[in-house]
Structure 1
Amino acid sequence: MAFGGFSQGDVRAPQSEINMVPLIDVMLVLLIVFMITAPLLTHSVKIDLPQAASQPTIEKPETVTLALDAEGRMFWNNQPLDDSALSARLAEAAAKTPQPELHLRADHDTRYQKLAEVMSAARTAGIEKMGFITVPQQ
């Protein structure tokens, strides 16, 4: 009777490596499926769209330049400005819409105290954007 597998003569060790052939077959089938379906996904509908020749309007807010020299004198857009008129000019600029950006230019020898007072007055008046203008070293 040769039905059973009780034979001790043909003993084989269990296989220890992975059989890659089924994995390669699945990968090749998926590759073929993607190659067939990829051109179908790029189908587009031709539409005759109207043409318009317009450019977006970019509204740049004006800038106000406030310069301070070494003696503490102020210049509003290169025009001399008294200390007493500073708060009125800043309040006038803060009331505009869109609000202009304040550019501060200070001399190298300007006292920090004067610069801090000007910045405080600008914040009190309601100026939102403030920047420092510098000259690059050559």
Structure 2
Amino acid sequence: MISSHSQHQTDRLISEEPNLIPLLDFMLVLLIMFVMLAGPIQHMLSIQLPKVAKSAELKVNTTTLTIVIKGSSQFQIGENQFTSEDDLKAYLQSNTAIKENRVINVAADKSVDLQTMLSVFSDMKSLGIEVANIRVNQ
């Protein structure tokens, strides 16, 4: 008796998983349609935006101020050098431009101790300065 194994082999090739190719084809067609229609739909929707008067424009001053800490009693802001933390705090308090919207950088050497950094930050916080960037020099 001659038997054929071809029937058994085709049974093994039939998969129990669903065929996703028609679904992927349909999704691709939908994607192409949405891309093609995105331009004309955008031109059809004309939304009237409110006009802004020139006096309502907000001017932001983004001048950068850098406080350099060279040691436990050596501070520098631009060309001004201070030998004590009290002098630095007095300068920050008297300078009205610091209270405006400015970017403040605090640059310190690696040799500066943590206590000095924290005291400078607490002085800045007591003056109302909320945000400062920290930079460590080698």
TM-score by length of 1: 0.49
Please tell me whether Structure 1 or Structure 2 has the larger radius of gyration of its CA atoms: 1
More helix by share: 2
More strand by share: 2
